Amino acid sequence: MIRRYSELKHLKTYTERLDYLLLDGRVGRETFGALREYNQSFYTSTQWRSVRRHVMLRDNGCDLGIRGEEISGLIIVHHMNPITPEVLMDNVELVLDPEFLITVSSTTHNSIHYGAKFEIVNRPPVRYPGDTNLW
């Protein structure tokens, strides 16, 4: 399954977007290992820095691009589809396409990679106009 921003943006809630991006604990199945220099040179490149800035502006620095979910700490620009060494070496354009990128908080990033147990447990409840209940 190829995950796309154009599909993700139609999902309204944090939980729907997180479910769309979950990797089922598959992180680390393919690592860069001895090819780490490709990974490191990519993330320090002018191209990456430019597209990263573009995605952060597009998403207004909000977690999963949801307005009202501003990220107060480190903003991560997450590749919605895992990057393999082959993709990074052979298809950098795909890795740089904002269609496959989204801004996330560190906690959300961990949730995507490691599963729901890392999901934010103290998220404020969803509030609605006229809602007078205290938390």
- Domain for residue 127, yes or no? no
- pLDDT score for 99: 96
- Please state, as a whole number, how many other Cβ atoms lie within 10 Å of the Cβ of residue 106: 14
Q: Enter the pTM of the model.
A: 0.79
- Domain for residue 126, yes or no? no
Contact 80, 100 (CB under 8 A): yes
Helix (H) or strand (E) holding 110: helix 106-114
- Domain for residue 26, yes or no? yes
- Domain for residue 91, yes or no? yes
Diameter over CA atoms, the chain: 57
pLDDT digits (tens, 9 = 90+) for 74-109: 999 999 988 877 788 787 777 899 999 999 999 999
Encoded amino acid at 115, one letter? G
- Asked if the model's pLDDT at residue 45 lies above 60, the reply is yes
Write down how long the chain is: 135
Total number of domains in the chain: 1
- Domain for residue 124, yes or no? no
Range of the domain at 85: 5-116
Helix (H) or strand (E) holding 91: none
- Domain for residue 130, yes or no? no
- Domain for residue 19, yes or no? yes
- pLDDT score for 94: 79
